[in-house]
Amino acid sequence: MSKEKVEAYLFPAGGWGSVKSLATILGQEHIPLSGPLLLRKQNKPDGFMCVSCAWAKPDPPHPFEFCENGAKATVWEQTSKRVGPDFFERHMVGELLSWSDHDLEEVGRLTHPLRYDASSDRYLPVSWDDAFAEIGRELRAMEPDQAVFYSSGRASLETSYMYALMARAFGTNNLPDSSNMCHESTSVALPKSIGVPVGTVLLKDFEETDLILFFGHNVGSNAPRMLHQLQDARKRGVPLITFNPLRERGLERFTNPQSPAEMATLSSTKISTDYHQLHAGGDLAALTGICKALIALDREARASGGLPVLDHAFIAEHTNGFDALAAFCDETEWADIERRSGLTREALEGTAGVYARAERTIGIYGMGLTQHRLGVETVRMLANLLLLRGNIGRPGAGICPVRGHSNVQGQRTVGITEKPELAPNDKYRELYGFEPPAKKGMAIVEACEAILSGEVKAVVSLGGNLVRAVPDTARIEPAWRKLRLTVSVATKLNRSHLVPGAVSYILPCLGRIEVDVQETGPQAVSMEDSTACFHGSRGMAEPVSEQVRSEPWIVARLAKAILPPNPRLDWDGWVADYARIRDAIEATYPDVFKDFNARLFQPGGIVRPLGARDRIWKTPSGKAEFAVPPGLEPDPDMPVDAPDVLRLMTIRSNGQFNTTVYREDDRFRGIKGTRKILFMNGDDIDRLGLKDGAGVVLSTVSRDGIERRSMELKVVRYDIPAGNCAGYYPELNVLLPLFHHDRQAKTPAAKSIPVRVERVPE
């Protein structure tokens, strides 16, 4: 492990730093030359889809359609290190509990199905047949709603379709997804506003846009391939206005590591033309301010006989609720907008002025908007702003939520959801002849509550690391141990595996990058990217061991173990040839997946039909809906206005993928060798009597009487607005109360936790 160091990072995102960082991880994972050869096939129509982010795959692709972090994800999965039964002979589970997230995954790929043995506190090898026999017995003995079937957003469309079908045929809608902790605010907001649950922007819109508004996403670390589109737009002179409490390097300057000219001359492109460092959770106020200023500009222009600023024809023909929005903007005082957003009226009027002049605007956002108490309202306010000038449903414009896991959006498209009204129930009846459950299932927060109360007895996880990713981790861990059954389909060891239920299994699976051979030969799978395009993906690397199985194979075996026989559910036939799963997907969703198999490897992907792209609004009124929030107050129960309370954002470093920690470094933020960091504003450091480098502990300010405290963190003086601070997820999930979530979508409010900072005596 590198030595701890904090040092400002003065270089652009990308560039030589990227190349060096990739070389380091190739060495760390003992990857020979075949690694880089594999990378040439990443995100190509004849290759495999990256296991890192969900950003779009262009047609034609760049010669190397991968970024530093995508390459890290490939290398991390394709490591030459292995975790076999011998590892567990050497290490008891109790001992492994003291290991870091990095060290656990770093031991390598899981190679054998394992069953926890409480008497020796070890995982022991088990045969696949015995595993499914016992898991089947356990689940069949429960009420269906006592089981939860989680999926992290990586599994393919094929696996996800089978998984959702299996859970419903078993009798439950308990199908929470990582999306519940991520873009659920989007999935709730956008259908209400524009009648689709996903973004409307396609890659070609970036070529035609005149303005990009960018909220709460760290593109340089979390979707770096998007920097190509941003850089191209900036080279055309398109303004890009960023709203983010932190100055993120990828949003400031970028050197394309794939451009020999830029690399040789050390030149870079300035990405943001304006950078507004607002308060965490201040976006609703900021967006309200921009809408208010825009409406005022429109009134002035019309009063003086000028051209209107709003698209009145669009508003009249395509929308509802404009008057209510205008009234809300009129009523909301600038003083409140300034206080809540932390930005000045001038700054927001400036943005409104640029926006008023742009013909075509794209609004992009990430977790900075969704992970708040008013996440849904905030996403809807961004939609309001775009609708005011008719920026949805025409070229060069639209709304662009940057999705997380590489197929998280797709899992929802093929039926993974706890909401029965979103399940294809008529098709299940028609195609498979069973009656799907009508009762609403549990989302993540509800599943956690039910684990705490003992109502849930089994958790089956298709990927992921729930024990680490959820809120209130210190409360969840002991409750998780009381589960009757825990099953994790996984590629690597993680902390969730160290908190076994009474009966506990780890089922090792192939990664997407490996060749997947079934009865009819090598198989392909598919996923949906952030721009709602479907892509086929073919594994290319040698499987890690003879014992690992594909995710579709594992789900099919699980289904057969828990369900009564039903000849119309042809699990074996599906696994023998994944094209048949795609036929079933097409039969279930004929409009969305038309000619699915024939078009699987179409360059650029299969474009998913979305009404909003063509100004067909699938809302109850048939129109796009302006939304009015209840107010700008984020949270009456969680006071953030007291002088000693800071708003904590829990964020990702450049060296991690969610709970997977590649390295304990955060290059762009200048951190080396540690994650126990608290980024703070200099005035706050002085005001609270702390100093740079001091040891502190955070405690959550909450009225529920539960004490939540962090591990010791080191204060780092950072460019962040006073009143806000930031630290790393998942370490700080101990501070995030389960009840602190968006009111409508229940997305945990991970970006605005009220905390007090206590100095640790030296």
Ligand X SMILES: Nc1nc2c(c(=O)[nH]1)N[C@H]1C(S)=C(S)[C@@H](COP(=O)(O)OP(=O)(O)OC[C@H]3O[C@@H](n4cnc5c(=O)[nH]c(N)nc54)[C@H](O)[C@@H]3O)O[C@H]1N2
Binding site for ligand X (CB under 6 A): 52-53, 69, 105, 152, 154, 178, 181-182, 215-218, 221-223, 243-246, 248, 280-281, 283, 366-368, 371, 404-405, 462-466, 469, 489-492, 494, 509, 511-512, 551, 649-652, 656-660, 729-730, 733, 736, 750-751
For residue 426, the minimal CB distance to ligand X (Å) is 30
Contact region with Mo ion (CB under 5 A), list: 85-93, 402-410, 427-435, 553-561: 402-410
- 244 makes contact, choosing from ligand X, Mo ion, none, with CB < 5 to 8 Å by partner type, with ligand X
- 361 makes contact, choosing from Mo ion, ligand X, none, with CB < 5 to 8 Å by partner type, with none
Residues 310/311/317/323 CA torsion (nearest 10 deg): 0
Among positions 15, 393, 404, 655, the unique one binding Mo ion when judged by CB under 5 A = 404
Q: What are phi and psi of 646, to 5 degrees?
A: -110, 155
For residue 352, the minimal CB distance to ligand X (Å) is 17
Tell me whether residue 377 or residue 551 sits nearer to ligand X (CB atom). Answer: 551
- 367 makes contact, choosing from Mo ion, ligand X, none, with CB < 5 to 8 Å by partner type, with ligand X
Radius of gyration of the chain (CA): 25
Q: Which residues are within 8 A (CB) of 540 and not within 5 positions of it... i.e. 6 or more apart? A: 38, 41, 47, 48, 513, 514, 515
For residue 738, the minimal CB distance to ligand X (Å) is 12
For residue 90, the minimal CB distance to Mo ion (Å) is 34
Tell me whether residue 179 or residue 425 sits nearer to ligand X (CB atom). Answer: 179
B/e letters for 174-206, b = 16+ CB within 10 Å, e = fewer, are bbbbbbbbbbbbbbbbbbbbbbbbbbbbbbebb
For residue 408, the minimal CB distance to Mo ion (Å) is 6
Tell me whether residue 187 or residue 277 sits nearer to Mo ion (CB atom). Answer: 187
Which residue's CB atom is positioned nearest to Mo ion? 404
Question: Residue 621, class by beta-carbon neighbours within 10 Å (0-12 exposed, 13-18 middle, 19+ buried)?
Answer: exposed
Distance separating alpha carbons of residues 716 and 693, to the nearest angstrom = 6
The C-alpha angle 11, 16, 18, rounded to 5 degrees, equals 90
- The interface with Mo ion within residues 664-693 (CB under 5 A) comprises none
For residue 429, the minimal CB distance to ligand X (Å) is 29
- 650 makes contact, choosing from Mo ion, ligand X, none, with CB < 5 to 8 Å by partner type, with ligand X
- 156 makes contact, choosing from ligand X, Mo ion, none, with CB < 5 to 8 Å by partner type, with none
B/e letters for 284-317, b = 16+ CB within 10 Å, e = fewer, are bbbbbbbbbbbbebbeeeeeeeeeebbbeebbee
**Cis-peptide into 730, omega within 30 deg:** yes
Contact region with Mo ion (CB under 5 A), list: 116-124, 180-188, 622-630, 746-754: 180-188
Among positions 182, 309, 487, 696, the unique one binding Mo ion when judged by CB under 5 A = 182
Tell me whether residue 557 or residue 652 sits nearer to ligand X (CB atom). Answer: 652
Q: Which residues are within 8 A (CB) of 149 and not within 5 positions of it... i.e. 6 or more apart? A: 163, 166, 167, 172, 174, 175, 460, 462
Distance separating alpha carbons of residues 89 and 96, to the nearest angstrom = 12
By CB under 5 A, residue 444 contacts Mo ion: no
- 679 makes contact, choosing from Mo ion, ligand X, none, with CB < 5 to 8 Å by partner type, with none
Tell me whether residue 326 or residue 408 sits nearer to Mo ion (CB atom). Answer: 408
For residue 152, the minimal CB distance to Mo ion (Å) is 9
Residue in the structure block whose two tokens are 């470094």: 665
Tell me whether residue 14 or residue 216 sits nearer to ligand X (CB atom). Answer: 216
B/e letters for 108-138, b = 16+ CB within 10 Å, e = fewer, are bbbbbbbbbeeeeebbeebeeeebbebbbeb
Tell me whether residue 233 or residue 462 sits nearer to ligand X (CB atom). Answer: 462
For residue 126, the minimal CB distance to Mo ion (Å) is 32
On whether the CB atoms of residues 37 and 51 are closer than 8 A, the answer is no
Q: What SS3 class is residue 432?
A: helix
- 250 makes contact, choosing from Mo ion, ligand X, none, with CB < 5 to 8 Å by partner type, with none
Q: What is the token pair recorded at 76?
A: 């991390």
Nearest to 184 by CA among 623, 753, 750: 750
For residue 182, the minimal CB distance to Mo ion (Å) is 3
Q: Residue 342 to residues 293, 337, 384, 723, 751: CA-CA distances in angstroms?
A: 16, 8, 21, 10, 16
For residue 550, the minimal CB distance to ligand X (Å) is 10
**Cis-peptide into 60, omega within 30 deg:** yes
On whether the CB atoms of residues 668 and 249 are closer than 8 A, the answer is yes
For residue 477, the minimal CB distance to ligand X (Å) is 15
Tell me whether residue 115 or residue 403 sits nearer to ligand X (CB atom). Answer: 403
Amino acid at 105: E
Question: Residue 622, class by beta-carbon neighbours within 10 Å (0-12 exposed, 13-18 middle, 19+ buried)?
Answer: exposed
- The count of residues interacting with Mo ion (CB under 5 A) is 2
Tell me whether residue 152 or residue 674 sits nearer to Mo ion (CB atom). Answer: 152
- 649 makes contact, choosing from Mo ion, ligand X, none, with CB < 5 to 8 Å by partner type, with ligand X
For residue 369, the minimal CB distance to ligand X (Å) is 6
Nearest to 468 by CA among 43, 135, 205, 99: 99
For residue 278, the minimal CB distance to ligand X (Å) is 6
Contact region with Mo ion (CB under 5 A), list: 89-97, 177-185, 189-197, 390-398: 177-185
* Other beta carbons within 10 Å of 711: 11
- 391 makes contact, choosing from ligand X, Mo ion, none, with CB < 5 to 8 Å by partner type, with none
Contact region with Mo ion (CB under 5 A), list: 182-190, 260-268, 520-528, 637-645: 182-190
- 459 makes contact, choosing from ligand X, Mo ion, none, with CB < 5 to 8 Å by partner type, with none
Residues lying near Mo ion in the complex (CB under 5 A)? 182, 404
